[in-house]
Amino acid sequence: MAVAAAVMLMLFFSSCMGASVFRAAATAAGFEDVPTVPFDEGFTPLFGESNLGLSGNGTVRVTLDGHTGSGFISKQYFHHGLFSADVRLPAGHTAGVVVAFYLSNGDVFEDTHDELDFEFLGNRAGHRWRMQTNVYGNGSTARGREERYLMPFDPSAAKHRFSVLWSSAAVVFFVDGTPVREVQRHAGAGMGSNYPSKPMAVYVTIWDGSTWATENGKYTVDYRHGPFTAEFSGLVLRGCPAEATGDIRQLHRATTVDRCAARERELATAGYAVMTTRKRAAMRRWRMKQTLYTVCYDTDRYPAALPECDVNPVERQMFERWGESKVAFRSRLSRVETPLSPPLVSMMQAD
């Protein structure tokens, strides 16, 4: 009880930190030096083209209304890399709305697809957006690796940077330059074939997730509050493109991986990619304050933790056996809310 009380006290004081701290972290982490890609050069519409908008400053707007959602996709598939976007989410009553920034190859490998997700889950007016990360490899959606969080800022008030670093050794999710989740391929017994290893494209979508997104479907999209528009800018595709002339189903073979080896070494030594002791400490602080649900402490689903999980005894006391946080994160942005464990939904299943 004493340990739990100490952690709760730490969470209360740390909640006073402003969102500017997190934006500054992106600069400190070296993300400001990463080149961006113009939309027309790197992306193409995916669906709902009438609800896609491109401004003169490079901002892309994706909109959901009563007729359709919308989305776009990268023109190339990539073998590993850094993929990033500055995102501003819709304000107001957004229950049931899902905005996603993710990597996938599900349109090619229907039964064995890989996927790395940032999913942003809308909420009722006066309640906060949730953020969810997912890691799927080789069609392993039944063995989900989901986590869900509250964000330490209002994502509708200003843009914030969300980044995925994917290498042959690890996947790291970043929020404003701060690592918030690291999944190591060879940690513990290793992930084996469940680690995403085939070339993936980058997607941005907004769609109606009424069946599950807000309190497991309790609150659905109310189009009287729409249309709902999210803004994306600062798009980064920093990876090794798959060969445009090859069969994408063969592009994860050894010869193509060898072709990308030099690019991956460059990626691994970049300042933003090196996971220092300081970065991991910042990640642990972020996770202790913001995590609502983690698969790593969900002993109902996995009595033995997944091999990549870094189980911490102090943190473990802050979670129920089903992986849900016992501590409601307090902030000036909203009242205390009850966290809910996420359903097993991948972007491909949602589509």
Q: CB-based contacts of 296: which residues, under 8 Å, 6+ apart?
A: 305, 306, 309, 310, 311, 323
CA distances, 204 to each of 67, 68, 147, 195 (Å): 18, 15, 19, 22
Q: Name the DSSP class of 8.
A: H
**Structure tokens of 42?**
């790197």
Report the alpha-carbon distance of residue 33 to residue 173 in Å, rounded: 18
User: How far from chain centre, in Å, is Cα 30?
Assistant: 19
> Which residue has 């107001």 as its token pair?
92
- Distance, CA of 207 to CA of 92 (rounded, Å): 16
Q: Which residues are catalytic?
A: 115, 119
Are 237 and 78 within 8 A, CB to CB?
Answer: yes
